[in-house]
Copies of this chain bind each other. A is one copy, B any other.
Amino acid sequence: MAQVQKPSIPKGTRDFSPEQMAGRNYIFDTIRSVFKNYGYKPIETPSMENLSTLLGKYGEEGDKLLFKILNSGDAFSGISTADLSKLISQAPESSLTPEINSNALSLRVCEKGLRYDLTVPFARYVVQHRNEITFPFKRYQIQPVWRADRPQKGRYREFYQCDVDVIGSNSLLNELELVQIVDDVFRAFGINICIKINNRKILSGLAEAMGFPDKLVDITIAMDKIDKIGIEAVKEEMLARSIDKKGFSVLEPVLSFKGTTAQKLALIGNVVAGSSSGCAGVEELKALFNLIDEAQISQQVEIDLSLARGLNYYTGAIFEVKALDFTIGSICGGGRYDNLTGIFGLPDVSGVGISFGADRIYDVLLGLEKFPKEAIGGTKVLLSNLDEASAAYLLPLANKLRKNNISCELYPDVAKLKKQFEYAQKNSIPYFVIAGESEVNAGTVNIKNLTTGEQITVPLAEAHVSCQW
């Protein structure tokens, strides 16, 4: 135990300092209070899920990004030790690709994985607890997820998701409610946003109109990149995915169209007129925008016919939220899924939800200097400790301040006033109450306002009131 190590944390993970935590808690508290206001209820699921729950739900790429947990106890027992020693020292020599065996061996010694998102665990939860749940079930969940992605700026291996979903209801009022929640959350944050909405049924209709109804996934994957790579590159990617120029020529005017909501609905209505799915999507979008108009959303809401969202499980409305005054990817996204619980044995349950990206919202609030001072403030009052007698003299004041919910600290060690003063400054504590021998004898305290530099002397018995001047 005596060996000294240079401490560090795994790459892609983070420590959060008190200052960062104050900002993060402000974000979580704000989001949570809006969720509650709309009647959503919190649940939590375990950090570890059985690998059988997670595997195959996020595509091949996602499977590779799962963090697997070694079985506890003797994970490699039942495996010959002679083989083990060879295994530790030797290089590959077989024609089998190492990867295949590595996966098989991983599954042999790992039964559990860290959760990759909150959606699949939620689906698992709903099916497992179906008999205890009253549908429609409105739940929110704010927990970390883990992905073995290559770490880079703004991409972490551990990060929080804030999900809100309603499951067991087909009504478009739920989609409206999510738009209202997004509106309320970002209005509370003071962040100007645009809520972009599209519908997966329209995308299906587009694929039909393009002549490639079976290439919906390829089309959405390519479309999803339009913001990053531009329309020409999207075209090239589609050609590479065997979608011909004629097909793309149907899509192109849709992607580049600018106009009002009514004009967009008219345009896309014409393009997908031959597809029943497409027409259903246009009807849903129309009805949703009628509701949105009536509900008087305070922020920008628009149809974005180029919006695709990568995840395959969406089947209806899809959402994405962009910050207007700060350049960053989408800060919120979601959509309707019609059969997420089917994989766990409960078919035909429709749900819709959105997820708030806490890390990006943090960056936006920080960049736009929108964190409210009172939200991130800590201790209000520091009480000096100049000797044992003066500390004892101030202890009852500390208790009185706390009873009045004014957070305070009695400096724990007898130390020079300068050191205690610096402690107050470094911790942004606005009031410093000082009592030396003469104040103890006089029954008074000096209160220094460290923001203005003013100092007053008041009787000890009144000090708890004066600390708020």
CA A170 to CA B414, docked complex, whole Å: 10
A101 x B75 contact (CB < 8 A): no
CA A162 to CA B141, docked complex, whole Å: 20
Q: Which of B43, B83, B111, B395 contacts A86 (CB 8 A)?
A: B83
CA A262 to CA B136, docked complex, whole Å: 62
Asked if A90 lies at the interface with its beta carbon under 8 angstroms from chain B, I say: yes
Q: Scan residues 403-448 of chain A and give those whose CB is less than 8 A from a CB of chain B.
A: 405, 407-410, 412-414, 422-423, 426-427, 429
Asked if A10 lies at the interface with its beta carbon under 8 angstroms from chain B, I say: yes
Binary interface profile of A, 31-69, with partner B (CB < 8 Å = 1, else 0)? 000001111011111111110110011000000110111
User: A44 to chain B: which residues have CB within 8 Å?
Assistant: 15-16, 21, 24
CA A47 to CA B156, docked complex, whole Å: 13
B67 x A43 contact (CB < 8 A): no
Asked if A17 lies at the interface with its beta carbon under 8 angstroms from chain B, I say: yes
Asked if A106 lies at the interface with its beta carbon under 8 angstroms from chain B, I say: yes
Q: Which of A122-130, A245-253, A264-272, A361-369 contacts B (4 or more CB under 8 A)?
A: A122-130
A95 to chain B, nearest CB (A): 8
User: A102 to chain B: which residues have CB within 8 Å?
Assistant: 74-77, 79, 84
CA A36 to CA B7, docked complex, whole Å: 28
CA A236 to CA B110, docked complex, whole Å: 42
User: A200 to chain B: which residues have CB within 8 Å?
Assistant: none
Asked if A73 lies at the interface with its beta carbon under 8 angstroms from chain B, I say: yes
CA A76 to CA B92, docked complex, whole Å: 10
User: A240 to chain B: which residues have CB within 8 Å?
Assistant: none
A378 x B41 contact (CB < 8 A): yes
CA A317 to CA B115, docked complex, whole Å: 40
9 contacts between A and B (CB under 8 A): A10-B49, A15-B44, A70-B109, A80-B92, A88-B101, A134-B427, A169-B413, A173-B385, A294-B392
Given contact pairs A173-B412, A407-B36, A402 touches B184 in the complex (Cβ within 8 A)? yes
B93 x A81 contact (CB < 8 A): yes
A99 x B74 contact (CB < 8 A): yes
User: A410 to chain B: which residues have CB within 8 Å?
Assistant: 173, 177
Q: Is the interface of A mostly helix, strand, loop or mixed?
A: mixed
A60 to chain B, nearest CB (A): 12
Asked if A13 lies at the interface with its beta carbon under 8 angstroms from chain B, I say: yes
Q: Which of B57, B69, B342 contacts A68 (CB 8 A)?
A: B69
Binding site for B on A (CB under 8 A): 1-10, 13-18, 21-22, 24-25, 36-39, 41-50, 52-53, 56-57, 64-65, 67-70, 72-88, 90-94, 96-99, 101-102, 104-106, 108-112, 114, 124-125, 127-129, 132, 134, 136, 138-139, 144, 146, 148, 157-158, 166, 169-171, 173-174, 177, 180, 184, 294-296, 342-345, 378-379, 385, 391-392, 395, 399, 402, 405, 407-410, 412-414, 422-423, 426-427, 429
A42 x B22 contact (CB < 8 A): yes
User: A174 to chain B: which residues have CB within 8 Å?
Assistant: 412
When C-beta atoms are compared, the residue in chain B nearest to A101 turns out to be: B84
A91 x B78 contact (CB < 8 A): yes
Given contact pairs A158-B48, A174-B412, A1 touches B129 in the complex (Cβ within 8 A)? no
A35 to chain B, nearest CB (A): 9
User: A129 to chain B: which residues have CB within 8 Å?
Assistant: 15, 17
Q: Which of B48, B81, B134, B180 contacts A96 (CB 8 A)?
A: B81
CA A325 to CA B77, docked complex, whole Å: 46
A47 x B144 contact (CB < 8 A): yes
B74 x A87 contact (CB < 8 A): no
When C-beta atoms are compared, the residue in chain B nearest to A45 turns out to be: B15
B101 x A92 contact (CB < 8 A): no
A347 to chain B, nearest CB (A): 9
A208 to chain B, nearest CB (A): 23
CA A407 to CA B381, docked complex, whole Å: 35
User: A86 to chain B: which residues have CB within 8 Å?
Assistant: 80, 83
A7 x B128 contact (CB < 8 A): yes
B22 x A75 contact (CB < 8 A): no
A10 x B111 contact (CB < 8 A): yes
User: A158 to chain B: which residues have CB within 8 Å?
Assistant: 46-48
User: A110 to chain B: which residues have CB within 8 Å?
Assistant: 70
User: A49 to chain B: which residues have CB within 8 Å?
Assistant: 9-10
